């Protein structure tokens, strides 16, 4: 049976949907609207959604939301270059932000902001930044960086990043996969869970060589160590082998700008997909900026890791 794609209108519409995170306890999907500066919650059981803005931070970007382990209603989020914690009951329309770390503080990069982020199996938060862009050419500077948060302090792993995006680990926590969107590559590192070190950087797959138009964005992994990659400006999600980078299947999505993916549902066999409607006035709601769900893939994922602070 071919995969089935459904638009979830009850989840609302965003300018730049990102950072989907499925909570298996509450059976809800959390995600953000980067451009709207809001955090979102979608509950499939009631087919309803809510959202909240960050008190005192209107107009600033919010790019990730990760539950804090063993602390109900607490989440790590980003606000521009800051990581912090909010407490949200899923109902309130505003939340207070408690800053815990700041990155890219040098004078020549203070216009950067945090982009995609996730936790490894030990609860460390891994995240990267995005460079400042020229609104005329839509080119981004290459002075962003990639970090993890160790004992409350950012650890710099590498620089020369343009748009830090998808990140995920294999089931044995020995490989770390990473995307810097403009490179059009999915890269793989050796990963040491005990130390939090990454090494031996290699290219796993390149979208042009796979015959795919668009830029790789957010991604997740299934239980067979295959990557599922959102393709911005490509109107699709790719399944790519985490072992050799071969294209296994391509799932078309009605929206053009696909931003990220996360496994959800009772059996973690439903793939939730976020999208955007940027730069082009022809990309209108409800199709563009919507949340989609892919079923009947024949695959399933792992529970997403939570933050340990």
Annotated catalytic residues are 217
Total residue count of the chain as it appears in this document: 309
φ and ψ of 183, to 5 deg: -70, -20
Task: For residue 52, give every residue at least 6 positions away whose Cβ sits within 8 Å of its Cβ, in sequence order, or none.
Answer: 38, 39, 88, 92, 93, 94, 95
Q: Residue 199: in which H helix or E strand, if any?
A: strand 197-206
How far is the C-alpha of 118 from the C-alpha of 43, rounded, in Å?
21
Bin 138: left if φ > 0, else alpha if -120 < ψ < 50, else beta: left
Distance CA 168, CA 178 (A): 7
Cα gap 184→3, rounded to integer Å: 25
**What is the maximum span of the chain, computed from C-alpha positions, in angstroms?**
54
In angstroms, how far is the first alpha carbon of the chain from the final one? 43
Those residues with Cβ within 8 angstroms of residue 7's Cβ, 6 or more apart along the chain or in another chain: 254, 286, 287, 290, 291, 292
Dihedral over alpha carbons 58, 60, 66, 69 (to 10 degrees): -60
d(CA 181, CA 151): 29
Residues 168, 220 contacting (CB under 8 angstroms): yes
């Amino acid at each position: 049976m071919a995969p089935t794609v459904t638009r979830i209108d009850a989840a609302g519409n965003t300018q730049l949907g990102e950072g989907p995170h499925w909570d298996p306890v509450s059976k809800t999907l959390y995600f953000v609207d980067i451009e709207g500066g809001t955090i979102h919650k979608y509950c499939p059981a009631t087919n309803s959604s809510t959202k909240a803005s960050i008190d005192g931070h209107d107009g600033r970007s919010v790019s990730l939301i990760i539950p804090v382990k063993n602390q109900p209603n607490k989440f790590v989020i980003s606000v521009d270059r800051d990581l912090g914690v909010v407490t949200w009951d899923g109902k309130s329309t505003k939340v207070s932000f408690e800053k815990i770390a700041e990155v890219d503080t040098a004078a020549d990069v203070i216009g950067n902001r945090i982009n995609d982020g996730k936790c490894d199996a030990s609860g460390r938060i891994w995240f990267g930044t995005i460079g400042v862009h020229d609104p005329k050419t839509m080119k981004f500077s290459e002075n962003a960086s990639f970090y993890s948060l160790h004992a409350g302090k950012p650890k710099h792993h590498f620089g020369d990043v343009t748009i830090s995006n998808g990140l995920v680990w294999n089931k044995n926590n020995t490989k770390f996969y990473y995307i810097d969107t403009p490179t059009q590559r999915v890269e793989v590192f050796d990963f040491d869970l005990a130390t939090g070190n990454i090494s031996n950087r290699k290219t796993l797959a390149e979208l042009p060589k796979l015959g795919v138009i668009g830029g790789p964005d957010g991604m997740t992994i299934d239980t067979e160590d295959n990557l599922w990659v959102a393709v911005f400006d490509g109107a699709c999600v790719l399944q790519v082998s985490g072992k050799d980078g071969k294209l296994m299947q391509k799932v078309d999505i009605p929206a053009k700008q696909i931003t990220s993916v996360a496994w959800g549902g009772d059996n973690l066999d439903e793939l939730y997909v976020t999208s955007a409607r940027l730069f082009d006035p022809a990309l209108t709601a409800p199709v563009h900026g919507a949340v989609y769900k892919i079923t009947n893939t024949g695959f399933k994922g792992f529970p997403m890791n939570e933050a340990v602070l």
